[in-house]
Structure formats: structure tokens, C-alpha cells
Amino acid sequence: MDYAMLGSSDLRVSRICLGTMTFGTQNSEADAHRQLDVAVAHGINFIDTAEMYSVPPNAESYGRAETCIGNWLKRQARDRIILATKISGPGRSLNWIRNGDLAFNRKNIRAAIEGSLARLQTDYVDLYQLHWPDRNTPIFGQYRFDPGKERDFVPLEETLAALAELVKEGRVRHVGLSNETPWGVMEFLHQAEKHGLPRVVSVQNAYSLLNRTWEMGLAEIGFRENVGLLAYSPLAFGLLSGKYLADARARGRLTLFRGFAQRYSKVNVQPAVAAYADLARGNGLTPAQLALGFVASRPFVASTIIGATTLEQLGEDIAACAVSLGDDLLQQIEALHLRYSNPAP
């Protein structure tokens, strides 16, 4: 397993991160513990979760993933695990979380971390992330900024100051963002510098062969400001495994949870998936090996977040992240990228 420093932090994370959004719904707690054991056995020291998990989000599944992890974590050497979680934000009708009061203010941030720490059965998290922006932004399959949807939001300085308190108290080691835009990343960095507050060290955004929007603005910010990308959905909700090409009704997140399909229902998604699958097979690879090998090889990706519902899938995904893609194959990927440019932003 390869490791890298996460942005400007002192966190040395495995280049593969275990995602846990299936824990508690698609995976039982026993399944989750087996996945965690296998991940650690392969050298993975980085685990990502969220108070909202498992998915699909509802009152019954809220906090289950953190609870599963907490029951496992209490039997581990805590200092050997890099643990990341997220606070849910406003704008998504999650009324069962803090009675729907989800603004990123001091009161809510403190309530959220207390809940997460209790479920995780630990005194601190290594990385605490804002799951999506408090303000109006296009996220989760939306791709155009609409000024007409403007709403009040907590000033970023106020949010960062509340997070700074958690860092000072030792409850949080570092802070990060998720589903964030170039403006948001730069404004958080600006406020940190201006007021002596913690710098964000990472951004967890979608990145895959179907969505390379990180490269259009955020890649330069990440490079110049030393902010790492935590790439989620590298298989595009399983589409890039190729399993839906043979059977559009194959069991998986896209067929089980229709509400998550918005990002992947756009016009050029299926042609792009088929083209990448053909390219992979023509080069002696599985579609998943091509997709995961590509994401894991990008120099701006600090860690690739993988998720699985079976141990077999988990082992295959870990191995696929280590696949080396030659220059000729990378050029062919670029040619397809120009033909099907970001069909699933």
C-alpha cells in the first residue's frame, strides 16, 4: 500500500480510503466489521464516513455507519486509524437531523461533532468535513449555478471559527470540505489566512472517468495551495464496473436507490461507459481496473475512496487501484474524454 501526506496536514493516509455509506443498510454491522478488517489487512489506514450515512438517508439509517465503525474502532489501536467524518448541511430536507436546523453555525457544529464522537466511540476525529456547502451551489448532479436559488448562509469565517474551537479542544485534528467549488475552497483558505484559523487540508469531490471537473479549476488550487483531493465515486456508482451494460436492472445502488441516479442519467453517460468498457477489454483489463487505475494514478488524488457491498468486490477494487496504465492507454483515455467530456458532472 502506498501512503501520502494529506494536503498540508500531518496525516499520512493510505492512497486508498474505505468508504462506508453502505454500512447499516446494504451491509450489516458484521459485514462492515469484516470489510474493515480486510481493509486494514491490506494496509488501508483511512476510513471515511458521515453522520448522514448509511444511504439512502432517512431517520432510521441516520448514524448507523458511524455506529458500526465505533463498535469496531473500540477494539483497534486508535492512533493507527485515520478517521474522517462529515457534518450534514442545509438544503436537502433532512428534517430528522437536528430537527432540520442544519446551518453551519457554532451550535449545530458542536451538536454534530458530539453525536459523531459518541457513535464512533472515540475522543477525536482526524478529519472533519463539511458534507456540502451551506450556501446555494450546484451539487449532486446539478451543474449550473443559479442565482435565483440564493438563500441565507452562515459566513464562512463563522463556520471556520467554530471548527477552530474543535481543533483547539482536540476533538478534531484537521478540517476539510466536500462537494465544494473553486470559489468556496479559495474563500475558506482566504478566511483562514486572514483570521488565523485552520486551513482546509482536503476536498472530497466526485472524480471519475465520467466526471473530471476537478481538473478544470480545482486542480490548480489543490496544487498551489496544497489541498488534497479525496476522490469519491471513482466507479460512478458502479456504472464504470460495466455491470449495467449487460443488465440495466442489475442489483446495485443505481437500481436500489433511484434518487441517486440524477448525476448518471444524462445523455452521454451510457455511450461513455460503453466506450471505456471496450477500451479496457481491448487492453486486457476489466472496466473497473481501467476506472480505478486511472483515478488512483492521478497526481492530485491524495486518496481514492472505494466502497463495496461484498468482500469479493472490496478485494477486486483494492487490487484495481494498483493497476498501472501505460502512456498509450492514457492517451486513448484522453481521446475518449474529449469525445465524452464530463457526461456526469
DSSP 295-309: HHH-TTEEEEEE--S
Q: What is the DSSP letter of 115?
A: H
C-alpha cell at 128: 472533519
Say how far apart CA 152 and CA 154 lie, in whole Å.
Answer: 7
For residues 193 and 262, the model is more confident at 193
pLDDT band at 262 (very low <50, low <70, confident <90, very high): confident
* pLDDT, tens digit, 9 for 90 and up, residues 98-141: 999 999 999 999 999 999 999 999 999 999 999 999 999 999 98
CATH topology for 3-339 is TIM Barrel (3.20.20)
Task: Check residue 258 and give its pLDDT.
Answer: 67
Q: What is the mean pLDDT of the chain?
A: 96
> Residues 6 or more apart from 29 whose CB is under 8 A from it?
23, 67, 68, 71
* pLDDT, tens digit, 9 for 90 and up, residues 51-84: 999 999 999 999 999 999 999 999 999 999 999 9
Specify whether 53 is catalytic.
yes
Task: Check residue 286 and give its pLDDT.
Answer: 97
Picking from 241, 287, 238, the residue whose alpha carbon sits closest to that of residue 263 is 238
Task: Check residue 244 and give its pLDDT.
Answer: 85
* pLDDT, tens digit, 9 for 90 and up, residues 135-159: 999 999 889 999 999 999 999 999 9
Say how far apart CA 85 and CA 175 lie, in whole Å.
Answer: 10
pLDDT band at 240 (very low <50, low <70, confident <90, very high): very high
Query: Which residue has 501520502 as its cell numbers?
Result: 4
Task: Check residue 254 and give its pLDDT.
Answer: 72
Task: Tell whether pTM > 0.85.
Answer: yes
Flag whether pLDDT at 310 surpasses 80: yes
- What is 178-201 written as a DSSP string? ES--HHHHHHHHHHHHHHT-PPEE
Flag whether pLDDT at 192 surpasses 80: yes
Say how far apart CA 193 and CA 190 lie, in whole Å.
Answer: 5
Q: For residue 58, how many other CB atoms are within 10 A of its CB?
A: 12
Flag whether pLDDT at 43 surpasses 90: yes
Task: Check residue 247 and give its pLDDT.
Answer: 73
* pLDDT, tens digit, 9 for 90 and up, residues 199-232: 999 999 999 999 999 999 999 999 999 999 999 9
288, 242 Cβ separation under 8 angstroms: yes
pLDDT band at 316 (very low <50, low <70, confident <90, very high): very high
Which helix or strand (DSSP H or E) is residue 94 part of? none
C-alpha cell at 292: 480505478
Q: What is the DSSP letter of 60?
A: T
Which candidate in 53, 207, 232, 340 is catalytic? 53
